[in-house]
């Protein structure tokens, strides 16, 4: 499989695919994560703009089987110290930007992969519904939107249990790391899908 992992962080979402020998490209803008295997340091908006240009110029765009994405979740978090909760305690309206979701959806539209999955926190649901993203599954603290075969996972450790000291520059990435069990469950569900084209090898 050819897998594109957007906002890849420490690579948890695509880790099962990488371990299985699939072709994985991870896109992340934090240079501190440049040593994570298969990671390209770039802004997802720059990638979107390049794909737009290729599309407008009629240049070939590489076929991708699966896009996974974990847009930054801080502004959607319901945690006590998160901006949304602070605004609520002050009686202020909270209208977070949906730009990262919209950029992700544009990339997905251009690439037209067979499968795509966007992961975020439960607090994102009401905002995502406003732009047409409806939750497909919820596993623990993770909400999944997209077009993919549903999967089940064993009870997983929460993201918070992967926390680190407050001064750690990768603390948010460690808190957001998707467990390997979940990545494995997604890959298993996708690989178990069979179609007429698969059966007769005429895709």
Residue 124: phi and psi, rounded to 5, are: -85, -15
Q: Can you tell me the distance from the alpha carbon of 45 to that of 47, in angstroms, rounded to the nearest whole number?
A: 5
Q: What pLDDT, on a 0 to 100 scale, did the predictor assign at position 198?
A: 55
Q: What is the four-CA torsion angle of 172, 122, 75, 149, rounded to 10 degrees?
A: 80
pLDDT of residue 197 exceeding 60: no
- What is the Cα Rg of the chain in Å? 17
Pairwise pLDDT comparison (36 vs 202), residue with the higher score:
36
Q: Positive or negative, the Cα torsion across 92, 142, 26, 9?
A: positive
Pairwise pLDDT comparison (112 vs 140), residue with the higher score:
112
Q: Percent of the chain at pLDDT above 70?
A: 88
Q: Can you tell me the distance from the alpha carbon of 39 to that of 4, in angstroms, rounded to the nearest whole number?
A: 10
Domain borders along the chain are 2-200
- Arithmetic mean of pLDDT, 11-38: 96
Pairwise pLDDT comparison (196 vs 189), residue with the higher score:
189
* pLDDT tens digits for range 149-163: 999 876 655 554 455
Q: Would you place residue 102 in the very low, low, confident or very high pLDDT band (cuts 50, 70, 90)?
A: very high
- Arithmetic mean of pLDDT, 113-134: 96
- Top mean pLDDT of 69-78, 97-106, 157-166, 191-200 is at 97-106
Write down the mean pLDDT value for the chain: 89
- Arithmetic mean of pLDDT, 117-135: 96
Q: What pLDDT, on a 0 to 100 scale, did the predictor assign at position 10?
A: 95
pLDDT of residue 22 exceeding 60: yes
pLDDT of residue 200 exceeding 50: no
Q: Would you place residue 195 in the very low, low, confident or very high pLDDT band (cuts 50, 70, 90)?
A: low
Q: Can you tell me the distance from the alpha carbon of 183 to that of 180, in angstroms, rounded to the nearest whole number?
A: 5
Q: Would you place residue 176 in the very low, low, confident or very high pLDDT band (cuts 50, 70, 90)?
A: confident
pTM of the model: 0.88
Q: Domain spanning 2-200: which CATH class is it, in words? A: alpha beta
């Amino acid at each position: 499989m050819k897998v594109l992992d957007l906002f890849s962080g420490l690579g948890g979402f695509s880790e099962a695919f990488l371990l299985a020998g699939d072709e994985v490209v991870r896109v992340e803008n934090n240079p501190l994560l440049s040593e994570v295997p298969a990671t390209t340091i770039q802004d997802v908006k720059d990638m979107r703009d390049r794909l737009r240009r290729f599309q407008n110029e009629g240049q070939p765009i590489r076929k991708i089987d699966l896009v996974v994405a974990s847009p930054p979740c801080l502004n959607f978090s319901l945690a006590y110290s998160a901006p949304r909760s602070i605004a609520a305690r002050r009686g202020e309206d909270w209208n977070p930007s949906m730009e990262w979701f919209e950029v992700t959806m544009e990339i997905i539209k251009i690439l037209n992969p067979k499968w795509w999955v966007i992961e975020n926190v439960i607090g994102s649901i009401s905002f995502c519904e406003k732009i047409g993203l409806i939750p497909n599954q919820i596993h623990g603290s993770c909400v999944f939107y997209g077009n993919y075969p549903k999967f089940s996972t064993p009870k997983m450790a929460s993201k918070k249990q992967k926390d680190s000291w407050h001064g750690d520059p990768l603390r948010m990435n460690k808190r957001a790391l998707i467990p390997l069990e979940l990545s494995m469950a997604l890959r298993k569900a996708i690989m178990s899908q069979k179609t007429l084209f698969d059966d007769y090898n005429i895709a």
